[in-house]
A and B are shown apart, each in its own frame.
Chain A
């Protein structure tokens, strides 16, 4: 196993030196997002997100199962995400980093109640849909959280489940060839936007791998298209003052609109 080593002295010193002059190592502006590419398909619920080098694949599938005893009328949304050394030699499954990323994505989707779980109920107490979301990290170029959250929500929106008709106590699940599959009911689209901090007033948006390794703190803002704040996440690092947080949220508002448009475009393109 290759241990992840931090950036070399040359890289770290250069990054800080150029950032002090407002230049980023990949030539972006400090509040520029990398070019986002979302590709859907070939099957429903399969979405791949590219943020330049970063690549994340999300896959949604579903099956019929028994509901949890304490929530007989609610469907289940299950998450699974695993970091592997395929994305970068230093990444490993079951590490704090993996927990941090998957928790965040899970929190964003599940706890903000993005998916209408009651609409996943077929027969109360008997049968509900179990929606499974698998996230695969294919390449690590920094900012996995944002890429994963975009992939996750886009995949949920792209997914179609088989249609069901309920006749008394009997539920008929129609084959996709028989009846057009139906989309999930999604309340809103929470999207993560991450910032990196380098001490003082140095803030950058959408950190790349080198910036991620050099940053002293990071901060993730999650917003939806209705400009509602869904989650904030800051795990350790230097303290931030309220002004900085306000500023980050303002920037994130603009970015979330752009990202949302991209998701809509991508979904429309593959539906056509």
Chain B
């Protein structure tokens, strides 16, 4: 698409030639189909790639979608699982056995307030979302699980998505200056762990400040933070 098209919720989309050819359109996030018309359900910029269309916007409240990595906080424990706050309208369920190597006899015990990194496996409008802390196909944790130490902070969903898409220059700029661990949830929560509180705070601030900066500005900003 040559020019950028911003849409607001309710805007009817002009699917143009693609639809007239009888091709199948694939609607991504932010678009809904009602009867014959396709309209936007979120504010943002309309993107398309071949027959795939979606709206990319920035917001601060998360709506769970299947397969997305999220950082959540355990808020309650009951019989068969934990209730985890992932920042969406409803808490997510985390089954007791949804961890690497967990069995009925041997499973991790998480205190309330624990931060976990998980993946959304169930997300629809009729059920509470469900997350798991391992890949249920391979049985491996693949980096998911409890996050201990470090610091968690919140950012916009747009920034979180850019960070995880590795298009964020701030991570490269930071990585060349100091070693740190990071877990990014697309629910707008980021966990970072570096050596000591100074470094961790620095990394967290650099990421938070980077939202509207380009690659060059990011490098400059990280340098300035380090020099302080």
Closest to A3 in B: B75
Question: Which B residues are in CB contact (< 8 Å) with A10?
Answer: 114-115, 147-152, 191
**Which B residues between 98 and 115 are near A, CB-CB below 8 angstroms?**
111, 113-115
Closest to B208 in A: A26
Bound Cα distance from A14 to B75, whole angstroms: 19
Question: Which A residues are in CB contact (< 8 Å) with B114?
Answer: 8-10
Bound Cα distance from A10 to B75, whole angstroms: 13
Is the C-beta of A2 less than 8 angstroms from some C-beta in chain B?
Answer: yes
Q: Is the interface of A mostly helix, strand, loop or mixed?
A: loop
Is the C-beta of A176 less than 8 angstroms from some C-beta in chain B?
Answer: no
Among the 9-residue stretches B15-23, B118-126, B128-136, B193-201, the one with 4 or more Cβ atoms under 8 Å from chain A is B193-201
* B contact residues, total (Cβ < 8 Å): 25
Question: Which A residues are in CB contact (< 8 Å) with B201?
Answer: 18, 23-27
Is the C-beta of B170 less than 8 angstroms from some C-beta in chain A?
Answer: no
Which A residues are within 8 Å of any B CB, using their own CB?
A: 2, 5-12, 14, 17-18, 21, 23-27, 89
Q: Can you pick out 18 interface pairs between chain A and chain B where the beta carbons lie within 8 Å of each other?
A: A2-B89, A8-B113, A8-B152, A9-B111, A10-B114, A10-B148, A10-B191, A14-B150, A14-B151, A17-B197, A18-B198, A18-B200, A21-B197, A21-B198, A23-B197, A25-B153, A25-B201, A26-B201
Which B residues are within 8 Å of any A CB, using their own CB?
A: 61, 73, 75, 85, 89, 111, 113-115, 147-153, 191, 197-198, 200-202, 204-205, 225
- In the complex, besides A9-B114, A11-B153, A23-B198, 8 extra interface pairs with C-beta distance below 8 angstroms are A5-B75, A8-B115, A10-B114, A10-B149, A10-B152, A11-B152, A23-B197, A25-B153
